[in-house]
RNA sequence: GAGCCGGUAGCUCAGCAGGUAGAGCAUCUGCCUUUUAAGCAGAGGGUCCUGGGUUCGAGUCCCAGCCGGCUCACCA
């Protein structure tokens, strides 16, 4: 018999023995007096004599992390909310059944409750002297090892619950991520933005350049696309008079998976009527600094050994950044950036704007380690942005970079329906030439715009990437609880459970 | 999609000169009333990712495949 099946049988047998002792093997409600972190915080400094003189009674619950049994007494560590508290069980100060439960039937990973008083051991560790035990849930499978935790990356992602139990830093990452989202929501709400939800299944996908996932609705017999961006719906709402809206939700892009890309990822998009991209640049700086402080306690965070300072976000025009951050000696001069010969030497793209962007992405992007705003983008690559007055080759758009990654994209929204129609038509030509990612014509969006979209600025912030930067994570999969993986082959677990139940007389 | 690296006990890993498969933790039995990587004595546990091939003999060498990681390409 394999070890796993042997353990399964042992533990099922124990489950019955626990029941025979008078404990429900899967308990019900347990009202604890404190969480383990609360106990550790509240009595961290209390000396042993004071705990003895004025006993503190507590009821706590947790998962057994370690267990050390001696003949007539023993210790265990309970884990709750990422922290652990030691318990002490003695034969002469615990009911007989409770001691038997502790001595014979508990396994690492079981969830129990205890009642008792706080004391300090000889070595000074704050512990609970147990007077009563409660059994709350049995673990039927072996837990990961206690020193190294769980390191196999695939198992960590597939069985994230084990990762969270075994690796406290993983728990911290997701708590930080939650704080980031909470901070962004709070700040937007404070400024009068309202949160909305727009379709994730869309008949026409738009708002970004990407390949979509396709699905089918049976009753209507239509194909729908999982959204690649919420942008066009959010701007319809601005037309409708919801002048400050935001949405935090998933986008889906049917493209490669990498340390910076997951097929579904979380985006904050917000739109502010009567503003332009300059307003959003200032707002973004405040937003990011505040978020960094709320999530990590500081506006300066360390990412892969480098300190990033969110209190001083630098700003460069795209064309300035090309010169400023150019790697190596052949630094371009301002006039080069408008010179077709120079552009052709450095890029194979067909238009000057696309060439500029390609060169930027290739040479500059990964050098933007400090939080940096890059602004004024070529019109060709920005079909939904408003052009710069007096310079129609460029649009009022900016992106924010940090740790060499794009984490935000924003612009003054194009609100002239005729101009928008022409941009869509240009995209259709690209599509006709085989560019699967070119935007589709969205006539309903055009119709909304024909009713009048106020001057508006909008921005999207990639929550996963921001979380990477603020949690010092090298891979996007470290900040997504369940990143997309190829499905596992069948486990056969149901079969094994059934066999074990039969054999142990269930 | 391409290149590099990896897949051995539940977990973390060793084994490479091709010769019957190992350690620590975990598990089981016994002892132990302040331990904490508890300790001591004993025991069990393996489709060495899969399938072919070379060989008297393959965890080890060769080929193909599967799964994963990293880098690159596309993208946010």
pLDDT value for A351: 87
Measured CA to CA in angstroms, residue A38 lies from A35, A129, A487, A504 at distances of 5, 17, 40, 40
Q: What percent of chain A has pLDDT over 90?
A: 82
Encode pLDDT of A206-230 as tens digits. 999 888 999 999 999 999 999 999 9
Q: State chain A's mean pLDDT as an integer.
A: 94
> Does the pLDDT of residue A140 top 70, yes or no?
yes
A210 touches strand B (CB under 7 A): yes
Going by their DSSP bridges, the two strands A387-388 and A391-402 should be labelled as: antiparallel
pLDDT value for A328: 78
Is A289 within 8 Å of A505 (Cβ atoms)?
no
Listed range (A412-421, A431-440, A452-461) with the worst mean pLDDT: A431-440
A157 CA from B75 C1′ (Å)? 23
> Does the pLDDT of residue A1 top 70, yes or no?
no
Q: Which residues numbered 73-132 in chain A sit less than 7 A from strand B, measured from CB? A: 73, 75, 77, 86, 88, 90-92, 107-108, 119, 121-125, 127
Q: Which protein residue has its CA closest to C1' of B31?
A: A71
Q: Which nucleotide is nearest to A88 (CA to C1')?
A: B34
A365 CA from B31 C1′ (Å)? 66
Is A407 within 8 Å of A373 (Cβ atoms)?
no
pLDDT value for A506: 56
pLDDT value for A279: 97
Q: Which residues numbered 266-325 in chain A sit less than 7 A from strand B, measured from CB? A: none
A256 touches strand B (CB under 7 A): yes
Give the angle subtended at the CA of A401 by the CAs of A439 and A344, to the nearest 5°.
60
> Does the pLDDT of residue A27 top 60, yes or no?
yes
Encode pLDDT of A254-263 as tens digits. 988 899 999 9
Give the end-to-end CA distance of chain A in Å, rounded to a whole number: 19
Listed range (A47-56, A265-274, A380-389) with the worst mean pLDDT: A380-389
Q: Which nucleotide is nearest to A464 (CA to C1')?
A: B76
Give CA–CA dist A349/A130, Å, rounded.
Answer: 72
Q: Which residues numbered 456-475 in chain A sit less than 7 A from strand B, measured from CB? A: 462, 464-465, 474-475
> Does the pLDDT of residue A2 top 80, yes or no?
no
Is A342 within 8 Å of A336 (Cβ atoms)?
yes
Query: Which tokens belong to A455?
Result: 């001057």
> Does the pLDDT of residue A347 top 90, yes or no?
no
> Does the pLDDT of residue A434 top 80, yes or no?
no
Give CA–CA dist A378/A486, Å, rounded.
Answer: 38
Region at A46 (left for phi over 0; alpha for psi -120 to 50; beta for the rest):
beta
Nearest alpha-carbon partner for A252 in A219, A188, A197, A207: A207
pLDDT value for A191: 98
Nucleotides of B under 7 A from a protein CB: 1, 9-13, 24-28, 31-38, 44-47, 66-76
> Does the pLDDT of residue A363 top 80, yes or no?
yes
Residue appearing with tokens 């075994």: A166
Average of per-residue pLDDT across A348-367: 89
Query: Which tokens belong to A280?
Result: 């959003």
Average of per-residue pLDDT across A131-157: 93
A486 CA from B49 C1′ (Å)? 15
Q: Which residues, 6 or more positions from A76, have their beta carbon under 8 angstroms from its beta carbon?
A: A64, A65, A66, A67, A68, A86, A87, A89, A102, A106
**3-state SS record for A343-393:** HHHHCCCCCHHHHHHHHHHHHHHHHCCCCEEEEEEEHHHCCCECEECCEEE
How high is the ipTM of this complex? 0.91
Give CA–CA dist A473/A156, Å, rounded.
Answer: 15
Encode pLDDT of A245-288 as tens digits. 999 999 999 988 899 999 999 999 999 999 999 999 999 999 99
Nearest alpha-carbon partner for A106 in A67, A70, A79, A149: A67
Count of CB atoms situated within 10 Å of the CB of A142: 14
Question: Which regions of A138-288 does DSSP assign to beta strands (E)?
Answer: 194-195, 201-202, 214-217, 222-226, 244-252, 264-273
A484 touches strand B (CB under 7 A): no
Q: Which residues, 6 or more positions from A35, have their beta carbon under 8 angstroms from its beta carbon?
A: A60, A80, A81
Element (H, E) at A181: helix A168-190
Residue appearing with tokens 């486990």: A491
> Does the pLDDT of residue A298 top 60, yes or no?
yes
Instruction: Quote the crossing angle between the two packed helices A443-450 and A417-432, to the nearest 10°.
Output: 170
Q: Which residues numbered 165-204 in chain A sit less than 7 A from strand B, measured from CB? A: none
Is A48 within 8 Å of A119 (Cβ atoms)?
yes
Q: Which protein residue has its CA closest to C1' of B46?
A: A2
DSSP codes, A29-85: ----SS-HHHHHHHTSS--HHHHHHS--EEEEEEEEEEEEE-SSEEEEEEEETTEEE
A365 touches strand B (CB under 7 A): no
Q: Which residues, 6 or more positions from A198, have their beta carbon under 8 angstroms from its beta carbon?
A: A227, A230, A233, A234, A237, A247
**Upper half-sphere CA count for residue A403 (Cβ side, 13 Å):** 24
Four-residue CA torsion sign, A274, A277, A278, A280: positive
Measured CA to CA in angstroms, residue A277 lies from A61, A274, A349 at distances of 51, 10, 27
Encode pLDDT of A321-334 as tens digits. 999 999 877 889 99
Average of per-residue pLDDT across A99-109: 96
Please tell me whether residue A342 adopts helix, strand or coil conformation: helix
């Amino acid at each position: 018999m394999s070890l796993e099946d042997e353990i399964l049988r042992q533990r099922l047998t124990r489950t019955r023995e626990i029941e025979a002792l008078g404990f429900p093997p899967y308990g019900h409600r347990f009202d604890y007096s404190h969480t383990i972190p609360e106990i550790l915080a509240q009595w961290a400094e209390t000396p042993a004599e004071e705990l003895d003189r004025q006993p503190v009674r507590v009821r706590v619950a947790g998962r057994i992390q370690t267990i050390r049994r001696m003949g007539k007494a023993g210790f265990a560590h309970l884990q709750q909310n990422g922290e652990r508290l030691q318990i002490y069980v003695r034969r002469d100060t615990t009911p007989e059944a409770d001691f038997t439960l502790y001595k014979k039937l508990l396994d690492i990973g079981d969830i129990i409750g205890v009642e008792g008083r706080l004391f300090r051991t000889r070595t000074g560790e704050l512990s609970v002297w147990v007077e009563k035990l409660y059994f709350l849930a049995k673990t039927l499978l072996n837990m990961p090892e206690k020193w190294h935790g769980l390191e196999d990356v695939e198992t960590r992602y597939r069985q994230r619950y084990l990762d969270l139990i075994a690796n406290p830093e993983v728990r911290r990452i997701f708590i930080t991520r939650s704080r980031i989202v909470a901070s962004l929501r709070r700040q937007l709400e404070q400024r009068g933005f309202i949160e909305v939800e727009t379709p994730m299944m869309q008949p026409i996908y738009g708002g970004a350049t990407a390949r979509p996932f396709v699905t089918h609705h049976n009753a209507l017999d239509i194909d729908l696309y999982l959204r690649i961006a919420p942008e066009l719906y959010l701007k319809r709402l601005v037309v409708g008079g919801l002048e400050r809206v935001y949405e935090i939700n998933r986008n889906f892009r049917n493209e490669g998976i990498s340390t910076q890309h997951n097929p579904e990822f979380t985006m904050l998009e917000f739109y502010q009527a009567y503003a332009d991209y300059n307003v959003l640049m200032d707002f973004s700086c405040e937003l990011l600094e505040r978020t960094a402080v709320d999530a990590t306690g500081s506006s300066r965070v360390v990412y892969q050994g480098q300190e990033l300072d969110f209190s001083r976000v630098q700003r460069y025009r795209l064309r300035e950044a090309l010169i400023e951050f150019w790697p190596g000696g052949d630094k371009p001069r301002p006039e080069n950036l408008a010179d077709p010969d120079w552009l052709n030497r450095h890029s194979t793209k067909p238009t000057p704007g696309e060439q500029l962007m390609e060169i930027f992405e290739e040479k500059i992007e990964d050098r933007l380690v400090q939080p940096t705003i890059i602004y004024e983008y070529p019109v060709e690559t920005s079909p939904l942005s408003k052009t710069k007055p007096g310079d129609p080759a460029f649009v009022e758009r900016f992106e924010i970079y940090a740790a060499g990654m794009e984490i935000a994209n924003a612009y003054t929204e194009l609100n002239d329906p005729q101009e928008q129609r022409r941009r869509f038509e240009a995209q259709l030509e690209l599509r006709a030439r085989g560019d699967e990612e070119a935007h589709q014509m969205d006539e309903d969006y055009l119709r909304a715009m024909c009713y009048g979209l106020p001057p508006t600025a909008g921005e999207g912030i990639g929550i996963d990437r921001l979380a990477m930067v603020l949690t010092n994570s090298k891979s996007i999969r470290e900040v997504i609880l369940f990143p997309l993986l190829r499905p596992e082959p069948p486990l056969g677990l149901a079969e094994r459970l059934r066999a074990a139940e039969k054999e142990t007389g269930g």
